[in-house]
Amino acid sequence: CPRCETALAEAEIEYWDETDPSVMVKFPLVDDPSVSLLIWTTTPWTLPSNMMVAAHPDFDYAKIRFSGEKGEETAICLESQAEYVMNKGGFQKFEVLERFKGKDMVGMAYRPPYDIDPKYLKRSEYVFKVVNADYVEKDNTGLVHTAPGFGPDDYETGKRYGAEPFCPVGEAGRYTEEFPLMEGRKVKTANDDIIKYLKENGLLFNTEKIKHRYGHCWRCKTPIIYRNTKQWFINVPKVKDTMLQEIDRAKWVPDWAGSTREKNWVDGARDWCISRQRYWGIPIPVWECKCGERKVIGQISELKGADGYTDGMDIHRPWIDKVTFTCPKCGGKMTRIPDILDVWFDSGVAAWASLGYPAKKEEFEEWWPCDFIVEAHDQTRGWFYSQLGAGVMSFDRAPYDEVMMHAWMLDPKGQKMSKSLGNVVLPKEVISEFGADALRLYSVRANAPWDDTCFQWDMKKNPPLKEGPKNAWKVLNTYWNVVKFASMYMEIDGFEPEKHPIAEMEKYFRGEDRWMLSRTEKMKRTVTEGLEA
């Protein structure tokens, strides 16, 4: 996140639609500059970091001449996308000049859009050449602009072809001195100038605005950027099979919360980034020396004797950073690495940390794992996931036996209630208007616990909804009026119900009395069984 200036785990990224530029850009071939590789991207700001162009090895590509009122262009793209590309470029005709498989394009050299100083962008065998990647899809041009300094797929492709990542963007999301043309500029504000540069240099084939799903920081809602940084990770794929087995072992309510929702998330999980760059937090307990020696602290007692440590001191960051060790290898000073732990990792160990484990093993053995946890559906990738991962890595099992997933109360438009959006309805507001019982009845009747509900003060404002707190109040008011009516005449007659058990009164019952009693007892049994199930 460029605002928080810290790394984020995949589970901390929230997605919603953003409007961004969509550009098709020409990369002229070195051997024949009149022919260009045609790439597509929604992040023009990453183009200064381009190092490769990825093609799918099994796709059919073609050199195509596009022509029309605006003249001619010869470009290479997916043959199946020729008409689509023609229309995007504003041409009326196209002619296929040559065909080839993606695997035959490997090594094809091109001229990048920016001439970056070689002392920053290291040249190697496949830099500024076509490479192969299986993640390339059959849409747009079928050729993917690849910047190993940004994004996991690009990074892995660059690594496979021996390219050293180039990332001229700092923690705050601004260009560094490695791209002097826009040094200090925020990358998300640079798109228009980059598009202008492409146009002025004859490299822009097409540009337009599109809406697409884009990631945002869960804390501040700022659009994130993908960039290479040194972080600490947990190898989730290594324990993924056990995690999936533990999902099956636990009981989930509803069952699809585990069998579908949680399993789908875990099945697609990558390495878990557990380091963060924040001013305060739980420190990653690793000390390093300039010679490369590392010391990992497992418990507080191991800090005793270290320079700067005193008993009872606050061991969060920044105070812990004053503690140093003497390097056993070279005699130098060992300082703590500046990173802190992901708060979700902290939440993941709650089931045994709250029991004082490992110091209090007896309590742990008596109470762990927990019988039941409950949270909303967003915790599929949050607390349910962090506990599952931490439990499997530490004990080869999930720290819970039963999970209930509930839903959210949304605003009338189906949006999550948020103070920043100003759409929050506080429970006390509803209670002051209709009473606590009306709110309870509305909550249990509106939907199943795991289905989201759009809050409405009055269902008349949104007829398709079956319920609103006002309608729940009307139902309760009817019951209350019946009770008041009966109570008034009972009081006049001096009738005290508790002195007349039902068993004694049954001989006086009419058919409708028995029917009402039967319905009442059935309801009591159904509710009791449901609550105790």
The reported pLDDT for the residue numbered 465 is 46
Pairing of strands 71-78, 60-68: antiparallel
Q: Is 306 left (phi over 0), alpha (psi -120 to 50) or beta?
A: beta
Query: Does residue 4 contact residue 173 with C-beta atoms inside 8 Å?
Result: no
The 8-class DSSP code of residue 259 comes to I
Task: Decide which of 70 and 388 is more confident.
Answer: 388
- Res 130: pLDDT: 95
pLDDT at 121: 85
Which secondary-structure segment (H or E) carries 195? helix 191-200
The separation between the first and the last C-alpha atoms of the chain, rounded to the nearest angstrom, is: 44
Confidence tier at 458 by pLDDT (50, 70, 90): low
Provide Rg for the chain, Cα atoms: 32
* Locus of tokens 């390219």: 163
Q: Which helix (H) or strand (E) holds 210?
A: strand 204-217
**According to the 3-state scheme, what is the secondary structure of 12-71?**
HEEEEEEEEEEEEEEEEECCCCCEEEEEEECCHHHHHHCCEEEECCCCEEEEEEEEECCE
pLDDT at position 464 is 45
Q: From CA 459, how far away is CA 465, in angstroms rounded? A: 6
Place of tokens 């997605």: 15
Would you state the pLDDT for residue 519? 95
Centre a 10 Å sphere on the Cβ of residue 253 and count the other Cβ atoms it contains: 17
Three-class DSSP category at 265: helix
How many other C-beta atoms lie within 10 A of the C-beta of residue 111?
16
Q: Mean pLDDT over residues 131-145, rounded?
A: 93
- Does residue 192 sit in helix, strand or coil? helix
Of 11-15, 348-352, 390-394, the least confident: 11-15
Q: 238, 47 in Cβ contact below 8 A?
A: no
SS3 assignment, position 526: helix
Tell me, what DSSP letter sits at residue 208?
E
Rounded to an integer, the average pLDDT of 35-58 is 93
pLDDT tens readout for residues 77-99 = 999 999 999 999 999 999 999 99
Cα(102)–Cα(477) distance, integer angstroms: 72
Burial of 533 (0-12, 13-18, 19+ CB in 10 A): exposed
Q: Which residues pair with 36 in a beta bridge?
A: 28, 75
Q: Do the Cβ atoms of 170 and 158 come closer than 8 Å? A: no
Beta bridge mates, 211: 19
Q: What is the pLDDT of residue 460?
A: 55
Instruction: Quote the CA–CA distance of 163 and 155 in Å, as a whole number.
Output: 9
Is the pTM higher than 0.75?
Answer: no
Q: Could you tell me which residues are beta bridge partners of residue 175?
A: 169
Contact 65, 94 (CB under 8 A): yes
Residue 462 has pLDDT above 80, yes or no: no
- Quick one: pLDDT band at residue 461, thresholds 50, 70, 90? low
pLDDT digits (tens, 9 = 90+) for 477-501: 999 999 999 999 999 999 988 888 8
Residues forming beta bridges with residue 412, ordered by sequence position: none
Q: Which of 390, 311, 291, 405 is nearest to 344 (CA)?
A: 390
Backbone angles phi, psi at 71, to 5 degrees: 115, -150
pLDDT in tens, 405-443: 999 999 888 888 888 788 888 999 999 989 999 999 988
Distance CA 219, CA 152 (A): 22
294 beta partners: 288
Question: Which of 201, 203, 176, 202 is CA-nearest to residue 190?
Answer: 176
What local confidence, expressed as pLDDT, does residue 327 receive?
94
Rounded Cα distance between 144 and 57, Å, is 13
Q: For the residues 220-237, what does the mean pLDDT come to?
A: 88
pLDDT at res. 454? 87
- Domains located in the chain, CATH noted: 18-212 (3.90.740.10), 417-474 (no CATH), 481-532 (no CATH)
In angstroms, how far is CA 280 from the centroid of its own chain? 23
Half-sphere exposure of 505 (CA within 13 A, CB side): 11
Look over the chain and give the mean of its residue pLDDT values, rounded to a whole number. Answer: 90
Q: CA separation (Å) from 396 to 14, 298, 387, 389? A: 29, 20, 12, 9
Instruction: Answer yes or no: are the C-beta atoms of 403 and 257 closer than 8 Å.
Output: yes
